[in-house]
Amino acid sequence: MRKLQTKLKMAIASLCAACAFSAHAQTFPDRPITLVVPYAAGGITDAYARSIGDYLGRLWNTQVVVENKGGAATIIGTQQVARAKPDGYTLLLTSYAYTSNPILRKDLPYEPAALTPLMLLGNSRSMLVVPAKSDLRTLDDVIKKGKKAPGNLKFASSGNASSPHVAAELWAKQVGVSFTHVPYKGTGPAMNDLLAGLVDGIFDGPSSIANVRAGRLRALGIANESRHPAAPEVPTFKEQGIDMVFGSWFGFMAPANTPKPVIDKLNKGLNTSLQDPKVRKVLESAGLFVVGGTPAEFASFLDAEARKLQGLVDSGVKFIVQ
């Protein structure tokens, strides 16, 4: 009899919880949502967040407040969301550092499992660009230079373990060359030295297309399944015999244990925002390959990205993080 009563109490508790979650999802959101960007204001991630946040605010008749929490390689902002109440009112828009930090850092103040995927916003695929005046006119020229004098080839990046650095390591492993990595504190100073001819190239995102169009840079290949619509003349690495698909990415996360009905509503709203012409213009003007999709698809993507980086680490590539 007592066992039956216990089972009945558990069933009633589960039913009540389910009803509470359902009611929460129906009224959600009924107050402002905080969208944390773990980078300083004014960057591309910030622009994505504000554009989508404005759209969601109109869609749900509430305010979406973008909060910039830069610093410590995105750790500060990510930690804030990882420790937030799992009710859907605190979200994170993050990028590649979310993949690299758990692999390269042993002292994270949060558990990656404390966050759950919402939606993959899109990819900014790596594109190898060199100075327009460079003697490296083709991908074969770059490979020949790397093989002729190991280490003489110099690739810039926006920092150790950044996506341009990882892209260069993946590429070098594929073609069998060695290079000298020249890390900078951000893409800006790296690009300045590239334009000055002080380094041979960088695996930047398609945002470099503007410099290519202006005649300052030459694009030799892009690490995507297909050519970029804004630069159809740039061949993919696959077309040139190199099986490489890689780049930075941007995606939304929520605290783990956020009720599924709320996750579903958030995911639906985020996907709907990608159909808005104003939002789409902001995303695509920066060279983003817009993706969208389900939380499960984003989780699978994150797993694949982590395996790529872990493979480099296991092969002996040294990434220095600060």
Q: For domain 127-240, say whether CATH 3.40.190.10 is its number.
A: yes
Mean pLDDT, residues 16-42: 78
Q: How many residues in the chain?
A: 322
* pLDDT at 29 (0 to 100): 97
Interacting residues of 231 by C-beta distance below 8 A, sequence separation 6+: 127, 206, 209, 212, 219, 222
Mean pLDDT, residues 77-85: 97
CA neighbor of 181 nearest in space, from 211, 196, 159, 149: 159
- Are 192 and 230 in contact by the 8 Å Cβ rule? The answer is no
Helix or strand holding residue 90 (H, E):
strand 90-95
State how far the Cα of 254 lies from the Cα of 43, in Å rounded to an integer. 21
- Are 74 and 98 in contact by the 8 Å Cβ rule? The answer is yes
Flag whether pLDDT at 207 surpasses 70: yes
* pLDDT at 322 (0 to 100): 62
Residue that has been written with the tokens 């420790």 in this structure? 83
Flag whether pLDDT at 240 surpasses 60: yes
The residues pairing with 248 across neighbouring beta strands, listed in sequence order, are: 124
Please count the other Cβ atoms lying within 10 Å of the Cβ belonging to residue 182. Answer: 18
Flag whether pLDDT at 5 surpasses 60: no
Q: Quickly name the fold that domain 33-124+248-315 has.
A: D-Maltodextrin-Binding Protein; domain 2 (3.40.190)
Compute and round to an integer the Cα radius of gyration of the chain. 22
- Are 170 and 179 in contact by the 8 Å Cβ rule? The answer is no
Please count the other Cβ atoms lying within 10 Å of the Cβ belonging to residue 45. Answer: 24
* pLDDT at 24 (0 to 100): 53
Which residue intervals of the chain bear CATH 3.40.190.150?
A: 33-124+248-315
Angle of helix 277-285 relative to helix 44-60, nearest 10 degrees?
170
pTM exceeds cut of 0.75: yes
Mean pLDDT, residues 2-28: 56
Which residue intervals of the chain bear CATH 3.40.190.10?
A: 127-240
- Return the higher-pLDDT residue of 321 and 75: 75
Q: What's the angle, vertex CA 46, arms to CA 41 and CA 50, rounded to 5?
A: 115
Mean pLDDT, residues 68-90: 95
